[in-house]
Structure 1
Amino acid sequence: MITKFKSIKNLAVFKEFDWDSSVRAKKGNNTIEFKKLNILYGRNYSGKTTLSRIVRALETGQISDKYENPECCICITDNADVSQLNFRTHNKTIRVFNEDFIKENLKFIVNPKENVVPFAILGEGNNEIEAEINSLKERLGSNESDKETGLHKDLKSLNALYQAAKKSHSDAQTKLNNLFANKATGRPSGIKYETKYGEVNYNINRLKADIESVKKNTYKPLLDEEKLQADSVLKEQTKNEIPALASLNLKLPECKIKASEAVSREIGRSNKIQELVKDAVLNRWVKEGRKLHQDKLDVCSFCNSPINESRWNELDKHFDEESDKLERDINNLLSEITNEKNLLLNFKIFNIEQVYSKYHTNYALAKQTFKSAVQNYKNSLELIESQLEERKKNILNQQVFKEVIDFSSEVENAKKELADLREKSNDYSNKLNADQNKAKENLRLNEIFDFINDINYFDLIASLDVLKKREESEKDKTDSKQIEINDILEEISAKQKELEDEIKGADKVNEYLNDHFGHDFLSLKAVEFEDEDTCNKIYRFETHREGKKAYHLSEGEKSLIAFCYFVAKLEDVATKDKNPIVWIDDPISSLDGNHIFFIYSLLKTKIYDNKDFEQLFISTHSLNFFKYLQRLPSHNDKKKDRVRHFIIERKDKTSVICEMPDYIKKNVTEFNHLFKQIIECSKLESITDNNYMMFYNFGNNARKFFEIYLFYKYPDASNDNEKLRKFFGEEDIPAVLTDRINNEYSHLAGIFERGQQPVEVPEMKKAAEIIVEKLKEKDEEQFDALMRSVQ
Structure 2
Amino acid sequence: MTEELVVFRSLKSFSGAGVWQDHRDAKGEHQFAVKNLIYGFNGTGKTTLSRAFASIQRGYLEDGLPSTTSFEFTLSDGTALSSKSLSNPFGQRLLVFNQDFIERNFKWDDSVAEPIFYLSEQSIDKKAEYDAAISAFQAAQADSDAAKLAEGGATKSLADFKTRVAKRVRELAPSQRYSQSFDARKIEPSYLAKDYSAVPLLNQQGLNSRQALLASGEANPPLSELPAISPDLAGWWSRQFVLLSSTPGSQLAEEFQIHSPALTWVSEGLHYHDQNRLTNCLLCGNLLTDERKRFLAQNFDSRWSDFVKNAQTERAQCSAYTEQLRELFQGVPKAIELQASLLAEGEGTQPKLKDNIAEFGKLLNQMAKLLDAKGLEPASVPDFSGGLSSSSATEWVAKFDRLRGEWNDIISRHNHEHAEFSSRQERAFQDIRDHVLAEEHADWKTLSAGTTDASKNLVTTGRKLLDARQKRDALSDVMRTHGAGADKLNKLLKSYLGHGGISLRTSNEGYQLIRSGGTPATQLSEGEKAALAFCFYLTQFEAEGRKKKELIAVIDDPISSLDTSARTHAFSLMSRMTKDCRQAVVLTHNMSFMNMVKREFTKNGGPAQSLFQLECTCQMDDPDNRATRLRPMTNLIKDYDTEYHYLFEIVLKASRTGASEFHYLLPNATRKLLEMFTAFSAPDQKSFAGALGSSGVQLKENDPKALERLIQIESHGTMEGLSSLPALTVEEALRATKAAIEFIKRRDDKHFKAMCRVCLVPEET
Superposed displacement of residue 500, structure 1: 0.9
Decide which of 523, 528, 532 is 1:561's aligned counterpart. Answer: 532
1-structure distance, mates of 2:59, 2:176: 56
Match of 2:477 in 1: 494
Q: Is residue 2:728 matched to residue 1:732?
A: no
1-structure distance, mates of 2:404, 2:539: 104
Decide which of 614, 622, 645 is 1:646's aligned counterpart. Answer: 614
Superposed displacement of residue 73, structure 1: 1.3
Q: Aligned in 2, Cα 1:44/1:18: closer, same or farther, shift over 3 Å? A: closer
1-structure distance, mates of 2:349, 2:714: 107
Match of 1:591 in 2: 562
TM-score after normalising by structure 2: 0.59
What SS is found at the alignment partner of 2:558? coil
Q: Is residue 2:568 matched to residue 1:603?
A: no
Q: Is residue 2:638 matched to residue 1:666?
A: yes
Q: Aligned in 2, Cα 1:602/1:539: closer, same or farther, shift over 3 Å? A: closer
Q: Residue deviations 1:80-125, cap 9 Å, x none?
A: 6369xxx9999977755445654665555xx6xx524252332543
Match of 1:769 in 2: 742
1-structure distance, mates of 2:467, 2:332: 81
Match of 1:683 in 2: 655
Matches within 5 A, 1:75-474: 75=71, 81=83, 96-99=96-99, 101-102=101-102, 105=105, 114-117=110-113, 119-122=115-118, 124-127=120-123, 130-141=124-135, 152-153=138-139, 156=142, 178=164, 181-182=167-168, 184-185=170-171, 190-192=172-174, 201=180, 205=184, 208=187, 244-249=227-232, 348=325, 354=333, 358=342, 433=418, 445-446=430-431, 451=436, 455=439, 457-474=440-457
Matches within 5 A, 1:25-64: 39-44=37-42, 48-49=46-47
- Worse overlay, 694-703 or 627-636: 627-636
2-structure distance, mates of 1:210, 1:157: 32
Please list every run of 5 or more consecutive structure 2 residues that lacks an aligned counterpart in the other structure: 1-7, 74-79, 243-249, 255-303, 358-392, 717-725
Q: Residue deviations 1:264-318, cap 9 Å, x none?
A: xxxxxxxxxxxxxxxxxxxxxxxx99999xxxxxxxxxxxxxxxxxxxxxxxxxx
2-structure distance, mates of 1:438, 1:635: 82
- Whether the 8 Å contact between 2:116 and 2:485 is mirrored in structure 1 is yes
Q: Is residue 2:494 matched to residue 1:519?
A: no
Match of 1:540 in 2: 512
Q: Is residue 2:487 matched to residue 1:507?
A: yes
What SS is found at the alignment partner of 2:532? helix
Name the amino acid aligned to 1:666: K
What SS is found at the alignment partner of 1:540? strand
Q: Residue deviations 1:693-712, cap 9 Å, x none?
A: 424542333213443x469x
- Whether the 8 Å contact between 1:106 and 1:117 is mirrored in structure 2 is yes
- Whether the 8 Å contact between 2:119 and 2:545 is mirrored in structure 1 is no
Matches within 5 A, 1:745-764: 745-746=710-711, 759=732
Match of 1:622 in 2: 590
Superposed displacement of residue 152, structure 1: 4.1
Q: Aligned in 2, Cα 1:427/1:33: closer, same or farther, shift over 3 Å? A: farther
Superposed displacement of residue 629, structure 1: 2.2
Number of aligned residue pairs: give it. Answer: 635
Q: Residue deviations 1:679-730, cap 9 Å, x none?
A: 52783465778547424542333213443x469xxxxxx73479999x9999
Match of 2:282 in 1: none
2-structure distance, mates of 1:622, 1:227: 71
Name the amino acid aligned to 1:467: G
Q: Aligned in 2, Cα 1:245/1:353: closer, same or farther, shift over 3 Å? A: closer
Name the amino acid aligned to 1:621: H
- Whether the 8 Å contact between 1:513 and 1:561 is mirrored in structure 2 is yes
1-structure distance, mates of 2:189, 2:329: 42
1-structure distance, mates of 2:471, 2:743: 71
2-structure distance, mates of 1:616, 1:55: 12
- Whether the 8 Å contact between 1:211 and 1:448 is mirrored in structure 2 is no
- Whether the 8 Å contact between 1:509 and 1:564 is mirrored in structure 2 is yes
Q: Residue deviations 1:24-82, cap 9 Å, x none?
A: 56xx99897988865432334555456657876885989889x9xx6541436677636
- Whether the 8 Å contact between 2:617 and 2:661 is mirrored in structure 1 is no
2-structure distance, mates of 1:207, 1:200: 11
Match of 1:701 in 2: 673
- Whether the 8 Å contact between 1:49 and 1:98 is mirrored in structure 2 is yes
Name the amino acid aligned to 2:39: Y
Superposed displacement of residue 588, structure 1: 1.8
- Whether the 8 Å contact between 1:40 and 1:646 is mirrored in structure 2 is yes
TM-score after normalising by structure 1: 0.58
Name the amino acid aligned to 1:719: D
2-structure distance, mates of 1:442, 1:436: 10
Superposed displacement of residue 542, structure 1: 1.3
Please list every run of 5 or more consecutive structure 1 residues that lacks an aligned counterpart in the other structure: 142-149, 260-287, 293-327, 371-407, 529-535, 712-717
Q: Residue deviations 1:184-225, cap 9 Å, x none?
A: 43xxxx444xxx999784765498499769957998878999
Superposed displacement of residue 493, structure 1: 2.9
Q: Aligned in 2, Cα 1:53/1:477: closer, same or farther, shift over 3 Å? A: closer
Q: Is residue 2:692 matched to residue 1:719?
A: no
Q: Aligned in 2, Cα 1:605/1:584: closer, same or farther, shift over 3 Å? A: same
Name the amino acid aligned to 2:639: N
Match of 1:388 in 2: none
Q: Aligned in 2, Cα 1:105/1:460: closer, same or farther, shift over 3 Å? A: closer
Superposed displacement of residue 482, structure 1: 2.3
1-structure distance, mates of 2:606, 2:230: 103
- Larger RCO: Structure 1 or Structure 2 (Cα < 8 Å, ≥ 6 residues apart)? 2
Q: Percent identity?
A: 16
- Whether the 8 Å contact between 1:646 and 1:657 is mirrored in structure 2 is yes
Q: Residue deviations 1:342-391, cap 9 Å, x none?
A: 99998956699648675869999999xx9xxxxxxxxxxxxxxxxxxxxx
Q: Aligned in 2, Cα 1:608/1:657: closer, same or farther, shift over 3 Å? A: farther
Match of 2:468 in 1: 485
